[in-house]
Amino acid sequence: MARMETLCLFFALTSLFCIVRTALDEIPKPVGKIESLFSGIFLGLSFLSHPFGSVFGIPSLYLLWKRKSLFSILFWIGGMIPILVWVVWLLPHWDLFLFQFGLQFGRKKELFSVFSILTKIKILIGGYENPGVRILFYIFLLAGIGINQRLLKEKKEQFLFLLIWILGTVVFLFLSTEFYYVMYLTLPLSALGGILLEESDRKRVIYVGSGLLFCNLIVLFLAYRKVGFINPEFDLGKKFSEEIASELKYSKKVYLQAIPDPYFYLKEKYPNQKILEFIPGELPIPPEMFVNTLDTIDTFVFSEGTKRNENVENYLKENASSFYKRSISVSPSTTRKLIRAQAEIYLRKKNEILYV
């Protein structure tokens, strides 16, 4: 959530808020000029925050259609304003943008071709870890639909809107193959659950609601194991950064691929140290574009379990005799050691460094 997805979601929800009023009523009213303009502007900002913001165009267009304002010129002008400003700002660096954007598309292509259908489905139901809890959540949600048939008919427009929103998001999730994008499903699913539990037989509501609450508590517990941000004693990131820093005391140029990310700690402690961003494992960059740079790096840092770039991995194997290999493992100061941060560090032998 600390990524650009948060900003993307904020702008998208603001855009929907501007045009949702009366859209789901029996007799919707046309969208006002100010509403149209600001809805378009915020949707454009959402897209600029993250390309996934385009997904919210689907529920937005549905709301405009319901309010007979699909061809509202101000909405489309509003959406173009932030994009045009961005294009003008970017023009001096257009070649660099195209290069970076092309690499990202190459990475997506690799992800789409490498992951199996089963893996994609696992991602959709909540990521790589503990999918069973998410499956149970969806079962309770479907049970809620089953016991609220009357409410389904009474609030047909709300259900249809949420269904369109959910299906549009699911399609984009399947194409993107990134597990953290699943967060975009939380809002329409939460709204759906809220509607389902508004009215019904009391006992059934209690059973279904208890099941949904139980699943959410389990998910929160599992998230706490990973992050523990509520607990001030959860200092895994700090301890991990300190351990990494002690190993990199004499390093001048570092290839860093570590979680928790020690970048800012290292820059503060060693301001003259040059830290290079890692190459994502799925990014199809030709090795001739960076292999010479690898010869100038004296330290490589990898978190345990992260996907390394194949060419970087091969380089380290072929030059294994030129490096000392160290392993570190750190636990938080909490009483229960629920998680550890581990990393492998490759320190180049002094007489093996080639500076260019």
What are the percentages of helix, strand and coil residues in the chain, rounded to 5?
65, 10, 30
Q: Report the DSSP pairing between strands 299-303 and 253-257.
A: parallel
State whether residue 117 is helix, strand or coil.
helix
Query: Residue 340: which of 186, 237, 262 has the closest Cα?
Result: 237
The reply to whether 220 and 241 lie within a common domain is no
The answer to whether 145 touches 152, Cβ cutoff 8 Å, is: yes
Q: How many domains does the chain have?
A: 3
The reply to whether 244 and 311 lie within a common domain is yes
Domain boundary among 226, 252, 274: 226
pLDDT at 356 over 50: no
pLDDT at 1: 43
* Phi/psi of residue 319, nearest 5 degrees: -115, 30
Domain boundary among 198, 226, 254: 226
State how far the Cα of 62 lies from the Cα of 39, in Å rounded to an integer: 13
pLDDT at 175: 74
pLDDT at 349: 85
State how far the Cα of 305 lies from the Cα of 322, in Å rounded to an integer: 23
Cα dist from 336 to 233, 333, 340, 341, whole Å: 11, 8, 11, 14
pLDDT at 82 over 70: yes
pLDDT at 183 over 50: yes
The answer to whether 296 touches 355, Cβ cutoff 8 Å, is: yes
Query: Residue 266: which of 3, 274, 308, 342 has the closest Cα?
Result: 274
Query: Residue 287: which of 253, 314, 311, 318 has the closest Cα?
Result: 311
Of residues 296 and 141, more confidence is placed in 296
The answer to whether 81 touches 70, Cβ cutoff 8 Å, is: no
What CATH number has the domain bearing residue 295?
A: 3.40.190
Query: Residue 51: which of 18, 87, 4, 98 has the closest Cα?
Result: 4
pTM score > 0.75 for this model?
A: no
Query: Residue 166: which of 58, 65, 17 has the closest Cα?
Result: 58
| Count of positions (residues) in the chain | 356
The answer to whether 232 touches 211, Cβ cutoff 8 Å, is: no
The reply to whether 219 and 256 lie within a common domain is no
The reply to whether 145 and 164 lie within a common domain is yes
Dump strand ranges (E) for 56-211.
none
CB-neighbour burial class of residue 88 (10 A; exposed 0-12, middle 13-18, buried 19+):
exposed
The mean pLDDT value for 10-35 works out to: 89
The reply to whether 302 and 207 lie within a common domain is no
The reply to whether 182 and 254 lie within a common domain is no
The structure tokens listed for 4 are 């650009």
Peptide bond into 82 cis (omega under 30): no
Q: Decide if 112 is inside a domain.
A: no
Q: What is the pLDDT of residues 312-347, one digit of tens each?
A: 888 899 989 989 999 998 887 766 656 778 899 999
Domain of 241 in residue numbering reads as: 236-352
Laid out side by side, the sheet with 341-348 consists of 274-277, 253-257, 299-303, 341-348, 323-330
Query: Residue 49: which of 21, 12, 100, 13 has the closest Cα?
Result: 12
